């Protein structure tokens, strides 16, 4: 059984989430997690998926305010052992609910091409041209809440 929870910035769960994001998203690309990013994350909403049996963090993401109406979905990461179990879908659904409750009317994100189809199935659509960041190609994805 898994549960989706808010994670407090600076908590031990937050440290687990940073480690998971690094392991799943950055390390395979040869990128480093810079501690300077932590200061920016204090105002973000951190969400995690906990495996109830062993109390282990198996997935997570960040919501970062862009402006009064828009919030950015970032760094969705699911442990490779739990990919394909609906963890990412559950995390995104919870994030959308939390964003709407907080008064946002739109979620935006930069999706790597390999996951564009996943987000399209969840109701996101591509907006604008593809673009590159750090040598990777992304699509801007948008969903009205």
Whether pLDDT at 83 is above 70: yes
* Sign of the C-alpha dihedral computed for residues 7, 55, 101 and 74 taken in this order: positive
Place of tokens 């769960």: 13
Does residue 33 carry a pLDDT above 70?
A: no
CB contact set of 39 (below 8 Å; sequence gap of 6+): none
Confidence tier at 7 by pLDDT (50, 70, 90): very high
Helix (H, G, I), strand (E, B) or coil at 33: coil
- Output the average pLDDT for the chain: 93
The pair phi, psi for residue 104, each rounded to 5°, is -85, 145
Per-domain residue ranges of the chain: 2-144
What would the pLDDT profile of 13-29 be if each residue is shown by its tens digit? Answer: 999 999 999 999 888 88
With a cut of 80, say whether residue 103 has pLDDT above it: yes
Question: What average pLDDT score do residues 70-88 get?
Answer: 95
Q: Decide if 141 contacts 124 (C-beta within 8 A).
A: yes
Question: What does the DSSP assignment read for 55-95?
Answer: TEEEEEEEEEE-SSSEEEEEEEEE-GGGTTTTHHHHHHHHH
Superfamily of domain 2-144: Gcn5-related N-acetyltransferase (GNAT) (3.40.630.30)
> What's the pLDDT tens digit per position in 108-140?
999 999 999 999 999 999 999 999 987 889 999
pTM comes to 0.92
């Amino acid at each position: 059984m898994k549960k989706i929870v808010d994670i407090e910035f600076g908590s031990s769960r937050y440290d687990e989430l940073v480690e998971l994001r690094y392991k799943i998203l950055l390390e395979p690309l040869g990128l480093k997690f810079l501690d300077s990013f932590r200061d920016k994350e204090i105002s973000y909403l951190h969400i995690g998926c906990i495996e109830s049996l062993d109390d282990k963090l198996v997935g997570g993401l960040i919501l970062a305010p862009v402006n009064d109406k828009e919030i950015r979905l970032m760094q969705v990461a699911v442990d490779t052992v739990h990919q394909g179990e609906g963890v990412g879908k559950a995390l995104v659904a919870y994030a959308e609910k939390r964003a709407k409750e907080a008064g946002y009317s739109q979620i935006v994100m930069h999706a790597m091409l390999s996951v564009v189809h996943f987000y399209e199935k969840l109701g996101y659509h591509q907006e604008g041209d593809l673009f590159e960041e750090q040598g990777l190609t992304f699509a801007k994805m948008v969903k009205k809440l």
